[in-house]
Structure 1
Amino acid sequence: MTESLHIVCPHCDGINRVPGDKLTENPVCGKCKASLFNAHPVELNAGNFNRHIGRSDIPVLIDFWAPWCGPCKMMAPAFVKAAALLEPRMRLAKLDTEQAQELAAQYNIRSIPTLALFKNGREIARQAGAMDVNGIVQWARAKL
């Protein structure tokens, strides 16, 4: 039997237990019945941020961005493509620093875009600046 992992639903923020060997079999949320992985970054905010980074047993890669930021807009499609390549072993998420200024200050975000990789609720790596899809994937895998 494989150890179960806690996976936070990207739709309802419910916490699910999924056997590790079943992650690639399109698991669904026990609460809302939506797919736990949809190859798209999760939109985080002040209300669900701590739940996703603190309760997820898979690493969470967060793109700290802002809607007025040109490099953020340029990197956005690459980040979506990276989600398709890194899921289900890693969750990708986006946090709008304009809407969540307290979180941006708490994590000392000084430039955007900034990628921060969290594991077991703790930040383990950070990279500022826009990257292409290959750069995002290689950087994230290298930090684990």
Structure 2
Amino acid sequence: MADSPITACPHCGTRNRVPAAAKGLPRCGKCQELLPWLTDATDADFTEIVEQSALPVLMDLWAPWCGPCRVVAPGVARAAEAYAGRLKVVKVNVDIAQQTAVRYQAQSIPLLLLLDKGAVRARQVGAVPTDALLRWVDQSLALSPAA
């Protein structure tokens, strides 16, 4: 697994390391507020990061060469902030994690999936504006048994 990404707390600005996988929820070391949980996964660490997550996972299957993937990326990051403590957001580069891409039938990207222990609860293909993405996440979380 890669180094823990550094996330600035949206409440106090303190920079925190947020591990890709953890038992609890990521909280700011200074103010103790919940932090957005946005991380990457590969085929090698997918089980630990996604399937063993206590929270529902918004998985973004993307590629660096994909223009629409770059368009949807800010909305995906916004979902991590908006649903801090309720949702883990995991980005999966389909060029690197080819087994995961095949497993979830990523024939078109960007592909957004709401997962519960690795099982698909909702699916969104293609780039959508941030407000539509957040509505989709909200509706999908309402349908998910893990929410």
Class of the TM-score when normalised by the shorter of the 2 chains: 0.7 to 0.9
**Equivalence for 1:143:** 140
Cα 1:103/1:26, change in 2 over 3 Å:
same
Q: 1:46 aligns with which of 23, 43, 46?
A: 43
CA distance in 2, matches of 1:41, 1:26: 13
Alignment of structure 1 residues 16-27 onto 2, 5 Å: 16=23, 18=24, 26=27
Q: Are the counterparts in 1 of residues 51 and 117 from structure 2 also a CA contact under 8 Å?
A: yes
Residue identity over aligned pairs, in percent, reads 31
CA distance in 1, matches of 2:72, 2:36: 16
CA distance in 1, matches of 2:75, 2:20: 25
CA distance in 2, matches of 1:97, 1:72: 11
Cα 1:63/1:12, change in 2 over 3 Å:
closer
- In the alignment, residue 123 of structure 2 is paired with which amino acid? R
- In the alignment, residue 97 of structure 2 is paired with which amino acid? A
Cα 1:84/1:115, change in 2 over 3 Å:
same
Normalising by structure 2, what TM-score?
A: 0.73
Q: Does 1:67 align with 2:64?
A: yes
Q: State the shift of 1:11 in Å.
A: 2.0
CA distance in 1, matches of 2:45, 2:133: 24
- In the alignment, residue 27 of structure 2 is paired with which amino acid? N
Alignment of structure 1 residues 24-35 onto 2, 5 Å: 26=27
Unaligned stretches of 5+ in structure 2? 1-16, 142-147
| Greater shift in the superposed pair: 126-135 or 39-48 | 39-48
Q: Are the counterparts in 2 of residues 83 and 91 from structure 1 also a CA contact under 8 Å?
A: yes
Unaligned stretches of 5+ in structure 1? 1-8, 29-34
Q: 1:118 aligns with which of 115, 119, 140?
A: 115
Q: Are the counterparts in 2 of residues 86 and 137 from structure 1 also a CA contact under 8 Å?
A: no
CA distance in 2, matches of 1:56, 1:10: 14
**Equivalence for 1:11:** 19
Q: Are the counterparts in 1 of residues 20 and 40 from structure 2 also a CA contact under 8 Å?
A: no
Q: State the shift of 1:121 in Å.
A: 2.9
CA distance in 2, matches of 1:139, 1:10: 25
